[in-house]
Amino acid sequence: MRNLTSAIALIGCVWSTGAVSADRTDLAIDEFTGGTESVGIVENKAFVAPRDAKPATAPFTGTIALSEVAMTTDPGTFKSNDILGKDPQVFPAAVLSFVTVDDDLVPSTQDVQRYGSTANGTSFWDIIVQPGKVWSEDGDDGWNRASFPFSLMHSIEGETHNGVAMFLYKDGEVSDLRFQVVSQTAPFYVEDYFTAAGLADASLSEGSVDNEEEIAAKHRQAMDDAEKLADWQALVEKFGEESVDGFNGDINSEEIVVDGLGVDGTFYLKSCPTVAGELPYCDRQRFGVWSVTKAAANTVAMLRLAEKYGPGVFDEKIAEYVNEAEGLPGWDQATFGDLLNMASGMGYGSQDEKPYNITDPFLDPYMAWYEAPTVEGKLDVLLEGAEPYPWGNGEVARYRDEDMFLLGEAMSRYVRAHDEAYHTIWDLVTEEVYEPIGIHYAPINKTIEAASEDDQPLMAFGFYPTISDMVKIAKLFQNDGRVGDKQILNAEKLADIAPSEAPIGFPTGDPQRPYYLKAFWRAHMDSRNGCSFYYPTMVGWGANYVALFPNDVFAIRLANDWDDDAGANRMDSLELTADRVGNLCE
């Protein structure tokens, strides 16, 4: 087992040392074993090891089965307790398997585990579980503690409700599971901003886990390859308080989920704020980033295909691969590249080209597509519901999640036509792009087919990266698609994504981000040092931003802005900080 003190010093916010001593006042053992009926939010530090923690007396390996439980929430009453026939105030009856690797509690999977999106149970929520920790404390009567971060989400949506959980274990026995939900990215169907806590009945259903050695080896590799995030204070010390002051500008502080700045090859994590203190395991937590997925998934996929099969993939016709589109007016001309640019020439909005309005419209056909669970259902809605615009394909951008999904489906079929080793484009992306850059887990929402092996990635939204994952993807774009001396993304097709002096892309009508190209929004910036340029940004619902500035500087800020607050949508404070520390005119 690793030296515990060294682990605490090196891991940083993964192992957030709390002020709680072995003489606990929060989450004492009787709260897990004494039949507590009502629980509330406590300080997050109670869910992590205290400074005087000791190594666990035994590892935990096994599967715990949870019972559904009504959560204690704030607000106590939701706007609706019937979302797609399910209740968002109920924690799901999840079955979770873990192994212990050194002092890490490692789930057997970090993929989406479906509960709410199935016919079973009453809970609305699916769940993603991330690695946590095991330890022991004096005064716990021989029990060991195991805690882990998790994300409640739903397979047709794109947000996460992030939290932390703990159970006790000893001698083949487990306690109930104490959990709390303390932050979230922007909601959609479940409109409530909420926190929650609960105690779920738990039982040890299995004392072993299949493929334990493979799980452990993959986890060790992922930890070795994870970005080593620096503390914000190190950025302050390097550049001075005046250089980084005001990083978040006018955004409501309660809307910030996580934020930080990358400069000189290092990402400085500023905060993971919650109502109960900093979010434990922040750098292991997975976040719902909504449409950041479009660039992180579709753009990455297209650039990989262009490198592997040639840039001509951008000119491939959608109807050549999605035979359901054959013979439908307008779809016969739309190309892969058109859909990546939101310029399919198809839709159901205004027939007027100007004034430009990329977000026109989101009408009833969109919601029918959104809720359709299968590829067949989604294709039926998006292909039949759209009409040709008078300007044709490749001329005007109109924002359509449907087209990004269609592009993903077309790419999957393209891959199957060229390489039977991959069933979906996501399989190719994870193996040929993400694995080489050190991303070893890549959960994404998929369609819900009769056979799970036929599920297809949504691609328009639904990717759940960690902060480390987002940093790696940003660096890959800024490194011109190279990993070391290997080109994995096509440099020719990537070139017009990089910052540029001249405007590039399709007009959006959005003064904040006036151009759009290859799933990136482009904003204009005047540097205090005299240069002027447009820079690309991955943008997701709720004011989620991954902004790529010149000189390999980048900013990440995830938020939960549901009401389109002006302070959340402005990026001038991120630009100013990047300009102060990054020499953007070099």
What is residue 93's DSSP assignment? Answer: -
HSE-CB at 356 with a 13 A cutoff on CA atoms is 18
Structure tokens at 341: 């640019």
Structure tokens at 325: 């589109």
pLDDT above 90: percentage of residues in the chain: 90
Cis peptide before 355 (omega within 30 of 0): yes
pTM of the shown model = 0.95
Q: What are phi and psi of 6, to 5 degrees?
A: -65, -40
HSE-CB at 570 with a 13 A cutoff on CA atoms is 13
H or E element: which one contains 566?
A: helix 566-569
Euclidean distance between CA atoms 126 and 227, whole angstroms: 27
Euclidean distance between CA atoms 477 and 548, whole angstroms: 8
HSE-CB at 119 with a 13 A cutoff on CA atoms is 1
Extended strands (E) in 102-231: 104-107, 126-129, 132-136, 144-153, 161-170, 173-174, 177-184, 195-200, 202-206, 230-231
Euclidean distance between CA atoms 318 and 324, whole angstroms: 10
Euclidean distance between CA atoms 193 and 16, whole angstroms: 25
Burial class (CB in 10 A: 0-12, 13-18, 19+), 210: exposed
Extended strands (E) in 39-194: 62-66, 69-70, 72-74, 90-91, 95-101, 104-107, 126-129, 132-136, 144-153, 161-170, 173-174, 177-184
Let me know the angle formed at the C-alpha of 385 by 381 and 390, rounded to the nearest 5 degrees. 145
The pLDDT tens digits along the chain (586 residues) read 223 222 322 333 443 444 444 468 899 999 998 766 678 999 999 999 999 999 999 999 999 999 999 999 999 999 999 999 999 999 999 999 999 999 999 999 999 999 999 999 999 999 999 999 999 999 999 999 999 999 999 999 999 999 999 999 999 999 999 999 999 999 999 999 999 999 999 999 888 999 999 999 999 999 999 999 999 999 999 999 999 999 999 999 999 999 999 999 999 999 999 999 999 999 999 999 999 999 999 999 999 999 999 999 999 999 999 999 999 999 999 999 999 999 999 999 999 999 999 998 777 889 999 999 999 999 999 999 899 999 999 999 999 999 999 999 999 999 999 988 999 999 999 999 999 999 999 999 999 999 999 999 999 999 999 999 999 999 999 999 999 999 999 999 999 999 999 999 999 999 999 999 999 999 999 999 999 999 999 999 999 999 999 999 999 999 999 888 888 999 999 999 999 999 899 8
Residue 281 Ramachandran class (φ > 0 left, ψ -120 to 50 alpha, else beta): left
pLDDT tens digits, 91-149: 999 999 999 999 999 999 999 999 999 999 999 999 999 999 999 999 999 999 999 99
User: Contact, 258 vs 248, CB < 8 A?
Assistant: no
Euclidean distance between CA atoms 577 and 318, whole angstroms: 42
